[in-house]
Amino acid sequence: MESELRERTAALLAAHDPADTDRLAFLQARFDAGLAWVHFPEGLGGLGAPRSLQAVVDAELAAAGAPGNDPRRIGIGLGMAAPTILKYGTDAQKRRFLRPLWTGEEVWCQLFSEPGAGSDLAALGTRAVLDGDTWVVDGQKVWTSSAHTARWAILIARTDPDVPKHQGITYFVCDMTDPGVDVRPLRQITGEAEFNEVFLTGVRIPDAHRLGAVGEGWQVAQTTLNNERVAIGGQAAPREAGMVGVVAETWRARPELRTHDLHQRLLKGWVEAEVARLTGERLRQQLTVGQPGPEGAAMKLAFARLAQELSGLEVELLGEEGLSYDDWTMRRPDHVDFTGREAGYRYLRAKGNSIEGGTSEILRNIIAERVLGLPGEPRTDKNVPWKELPR
């Protein structure tokens, strides 16, 4: 299979020379050749090949100077929406959404969390009521990355308030250009507004844009959430990638800043980062034979803890320099760069790592109950109709 992929990649490059082919045209041709994500089915950007062989294609194309699809800008689509659509979408939905999602023509966002339903996501109150063959959605979502640039959103809403909270949820694809969608920026401690709050007023979603059965949205959402945690904390990376590499580089370049205590902390952080990287590699090998499970929660938990500890170490290492901040201007970036800009920015931005993509507290519960098999916390609301829950 590897030789076949190399041949297909060579044929793609011969027919569409990156030097004189429009970027979008090349990405579309790559998708149609089955070289976008090789483990996807034929006709949907893949060839049904082992996921591990994607690296072969990527290396060949990188060596030829082929353009990429800018995964940082479309990470929610690639890491969360696409796996969910592939598993639960109809054939028509897969054909409509996956190609422009992968090429970056259409950006996606995630409408899950609400002001009263963050860690307890199943308590969400956004309502969807069926009107003929169209669902009418009203409610509010919050902490929505990329909502200001998104064309589509993956959305969960309550379709039956008379059953327990986990049972009355349905999963939809929402058109972010609907006139009832109001996106407002949420300015963060960094000065930026990469997150948004989204108000939905009379938003109409055709039933053809429903993913999974009515009332089974919680099960569908688990696919999204499990993939989200892997996307945040389990990406392939070389040694000293990410925050640990930034701090190690400063340590090597500025010997006058070193102390024994900081050295010990850096060594501890370096070892833990390498353990996390190798654990992530093992997780990705498991993914070659199945869907991500709750194990991804451990990767995301480790990522958040390390990012916060190492960014704090960098600020202490730099002393007064670490307290500087280049620009507090309110911006609405189209992607997140955890290690971008200076130490002060990295330190502040890392504070969000233990909240976004599932709080560290909730992830510990998931690991305890679903990975380690420990007894679950007492839950008195599991069999109570959602409409009777105190809010």
Q: What is the predicted pLDDT for the residue at 288?
A: 65
Q: Which residues contact 378 (CB under 8 A, 6 or more apart)?
A: none
Q: What is the predicted pLDDT for the residue at 280?
A: 83
Q: Does 228 participate in catalysis according to the annotation?
A: yes
Q: Check if the beta carbon of residue 104 is closer than 8 Å to that of residue 73.
A: yes
Q: Catalytic pick from 228, 295, 309, 314? A: 228
Q: What is the predicted pLDDT for the residue at 293?
A: 65
Alpha helices in the chain (DSSP H): 2-15, 23-32, 54-63, 75-76, 82-88, 91-103, 217-233, 243-253, 260-287, 296-318, 343-350, 360-366
Tokens of 109: 């966002």
Q: What is the predicted pLDDT for the residue at 233?
A: 60
Q: What is the predicted pLDDT for the residue at 282?
A: 81
CA distances from 146 to 91, 140, 153, 154, 196 (A): 26, 16, 10, 12, 8
The helix (run of H) or strand (run of E) holding residue 18 is none
The helix (run of H) or strand (run of E) holding residue 139 is strand 134-141
* Antiparallel, parallel or unpaired: β 108-111 and 134-141: unpaired
Q: What is the predicted pLDDT for the residue at 52?
A: 84
Q: What is the dihedral sign for C-alpha 206, 207, 208, 210?
A: positive
For the chain, the straight-line distance linking the first and the last C-alpha, in angstroms and rounded, comes to 55
Q: Which residue numbers in the chain have pLDDT < 50? A: none
Q: Convert the pLDDT of each residue in 85-115 to its tens digit.
A: 999 999 999 999 999 999 999 999 999 999 9
Give the integer Cα–Cα distance in Å for 337 and 276.
Answer: 20
